[in-house]
Amino acid sequence: MIERRDFLAGLGATAGALMLPPDAAGTVAGDLAPRRQATSDLWRDLRQQFQLPADYAYFNTAGLGASPRAVSDRVKSEMDREELSPAPGHSESDWTRIRGKCASLLGPSCSAGEIALVSTATEGINIVLNGLPLEKGDEVITSTHEHPALVIPLLHKIGTAGIVLRTFEPDLGTRAGTVERIRALMTPRTRLIFVSHVTCTTGQILPVAEIGRLADERHVWFALDGAQSLAQFPIDIAATGAHCFAASCHKFLMGPKRTGILYVRRDRLPELESTVVGAYSDQATSLAERQLTLRADAQRFEYGTQNAALIYGIESAVDFVAALGLPRIWQHNQAMAERFRKALQAQKSVELLSPAEAEARSAMVTFRIPGRNNGQVANALTARRLRVRSVTEAGLDAVRASFHVCNTDAEVDKLISAVAAEQG
Ligand SMILES: Cc1ncc(COP(=O)(O)O)c(C=O)c1O
């Protein structure tokens, strides 16, 4: 077991090599009290790893993650290093290592060759939608709670390929209800189910394994928008049955801004056409022989010069999360979200939009104050230096708070009191 102080000091440099004390869940009862104490001190002290001002509580990781110093320092130092001797290209071995670390966030069976380093979840989504052989009249199923990052490419595809969109509203009551709504939309023309793993509106974790089984039964493609799930909780991508998973690294992973990954399952790589290619997408190229062989792995979806500092920043972000332990982060964030949710449940003029079933709840809590303009409520809370986000997608008028390691229990308490004050 290492000392909390050593752990925090080490995060800046060698986070990946460090381990926290064993999870309290794995200890004998007599051990629990001192460990809980140490752990709660750790979360409080961890706040210092962020440049967020002390009086500013940031509850919008789901919008854009705050990066810890371990990440921003790495990006700055790599940028400076690059300027000493700018050179095109990048280290193949470093990139393979970093893709491998990203793959580790998607479970033990995911490999570096299934990961492409992209700029955003949006880019990954576009690679998938443009790479699939979608034709006029082909049907795509999605939810009414998707982010514009998926809605806009899907609508664009109606114009460019003539696809037909079929939408369902996620069931906030039961997971089975959501699966049944999708099943009811399936026809012989269904080619693709493309949904969020965690919705950006209500923070609902969709029943992806069940949806994946349905897709498999009907032989249709299954793609996930993982912008909100990557590094929010442990993922076993193989268990979801998803063929593709597009995600941002600049949300719960807390990586540098404008970074993302695209996972394409090994057996589906040859079927997904690469629509934007260039240097680094190829295995072998000969203009004289008019020959091109694209990479067999997901690197075929990468192209052109990359911003190396950002890619190294992704590595530091994965190391940071790994050093804390993703199961532990998830447990901690869920506890904050649950405390907030329960406190709001007790406030009589607040309506919670969180899912009924605990398994469907994430570290994002959405609520509204009926009778108020909730965009204004979000602005008022933010003006009190409690940064939340208003939710207008899916016709909602609500407020979302997302909880992560840059938050403390004291900040959650402030938010609870401020929401109470907003009800007059
Ligand atoms: C569900 C979802 N998908 C996609 C995005 C967009 O991510 P990016 O900016 O990385 O494309 C967001 C951003 O909030 C999101 O919540």
- Residues near ligand 1 with C-beta < 6 Å? 63, 120-122, 147, 149, 196, 200, 225, 227-228, 248, 260
Lowest mean pLDDT among 40-44, 101-105, 253-257: 40-44
Instruction: Among 154, 224, 228, 232, name the best residue to mutate to test ligand 1's pocket (greatest count of ligand atoms within 8 A of Cβ).
Output: 228
Dihedral sign (CA 148, 310, 411, 1):
positive
pLDDT confidence of residue 8: 59
Instruction: Among 248, 314, 392, 396, name the best residue to mutate to test ligand 1's pocket (greatest count of ligand atoms within 8 A of Cβ).
Output: 248
- Asked whether residue 17 carries a pLDDT value surpassing 50, the answer given is no
Instruction: Among 194, 195, 225, name the best residue to mutate to test ligand 1's pocket (greatest count of ligand atoms within 8 A of Cβ).
Output: 225
Dihedral angle computed from the Cα positions of residues 180, 186, 192 and 193, in that order, rounded to the nearest 10 degrees: -10
Give the pLDDT mean for 203-210.
Answer: 98
Give the pLDDT mean for 70-84.
Answer: 98
Give the pLDDT mean for 247-258.
Answer: 98
pLDDT confidence of residue 35: 53
pLDDT confidence of residue 197: 98
- Asked whether residue 5 carries a pLDDT value surpassing 60, the answer given is no
CA angle 34, 38, 39 (to 5 degrees): 115
Burial class (CB in 10 A: 0-12, 13-18, 19+), 411: buried
For 56, the token pair is 């500013």
Q: What separation in Å is there between the alpha carbon of 192 and the centre of ligand 1?
A: 20
* Separation CA 132–CA 91 (nearest Å): 30
Position in ligand 1 atom list of the atom nearest CA 64: 14
- CA nearest 11: which of 424, 298, 418, 405? 405
> When comparing pLDDT for 224 and 33, which is higher?
224
Percent of the chain surpassing pLDDT 90? 88
Class for the domain spanning 73-320: alpha beta
* Separation CA 169–CA 353 (nearest Å): 13
Class for the domain spanning 4-66+323-422: alpha beta
Q: What separation in Å is there between the alpha carbon of 75 and the centre of ligand 1?
A: 22
pLDDT band at 246, cuts 50/70/90?
very high
Instruction: Among 118, 126, 200, name the best residue to mutate to test ligand 1's pocket (greatest count of ligand atoms within 8 A of Cβ).
Output: 200
Residues 6+ apart with CB under 8 A from 372: 422
Q: What separation in Å is there between the alpha carbon of 106 and the centre of ligand 1?
A: 18
Task: Locate CATH 3.40.640.10 in the chain.
Answer: 73-320
Position in ligand 1 atom list of the atom nearest CA 258: 10
Cα separations in angstroms, 254 against 47, 69, 146, 277: 13, 10, 22, 28
pLDDT confidence of residue 160: 97
Position in ligand 1 atom list of the atom nearest CA 122: 11
Q: What separation in Å is there between the alpha carbon of 154 and the centre of ligand 1?
A: 14
Task: Say how many C-beta atoms besides its own lie within 10 A of residue 97's C-beta.
Answer: 12
Q: Are 105 and 44 in contact (CB under 8 A)?
A: no
Indicate the length of the chain as a whole number: 424
Residues 6+ apart with CB under 8 A from 361: 203, 204, 205, 334, 337, 338, 341, 354, 355
Q: What separation in Å is there between the alpha carbon of 203 and the centre of ligand 1?
A: 13
Q: What separation in Å is there between the alpha carbon of 239 and the centre of ligand 1?
A: 23
pLDDT confidence of residue 39: 72
pLDDT band at 91, cuts 50/70/90?
very high
Q: What separation in Å is there between the alpha carbon of 149 and the centre of ligand 1?
A: 6
pLDDT confidence of residue 80: 98
* Separation CA 97–CA 106 (nearest Å): 15
Position in ligand 1 atom list of the atom nearest CA 124: 11
* Separation CA 315–CA 70 (nearest Å): 10
Q: What separation in Å is there between the alpha carbon of 225 and the centre of ligand 1?
A: 8
pLDDT confidence of residue 424: 75
Instruction: Report how far Cα 338 is from the mean position of its chain's Cα atoms.
Output: 20
DSSP 86-103: --SS--HHHHHHHHHHHH
Q: What separation in Å is there between the alpha carbon of 402 and the centre of ligand 1?
A: 14
Task: Locate CATH 3.90.1150.10 in the chain.
Answer: 4-66+323-422
DSSP 146-197: --HHHHHHHHHHHHHH--EEEEE---SS-HHHHHHHHHHH--TTEEEEEEES
Give the pLDDT mean for 192-219.
Answer: 98
Lowest mean pLDDT among 23-37, 109-123, 209-223, 244-258: 23-37
> When comparing pLDDT for 356 and 416, which is higher?
416
pLDDT band at 348, cuts 50/70/90?
confident
Position in ligand 1 atom list of the atom nearest CA 62: 14
Give the pLDDT mean for 374-395.
Answer: 97
* Averaged pLDDT of the chain: 92
Q: What separation in Å is there between the alpha carbon of 121 and the centre of ligand 1?
A: 6
pLDDT confidence of residue 43: 86
Position in ligand 1 atom list of the atom nearest CA 120: 10
Q: What separation in Å is there between the alpha carbon of 346 and the centre of ligand 1?
A: 31
Residue of the nearest CA to atom 7 in ligand 1? Answer: 121
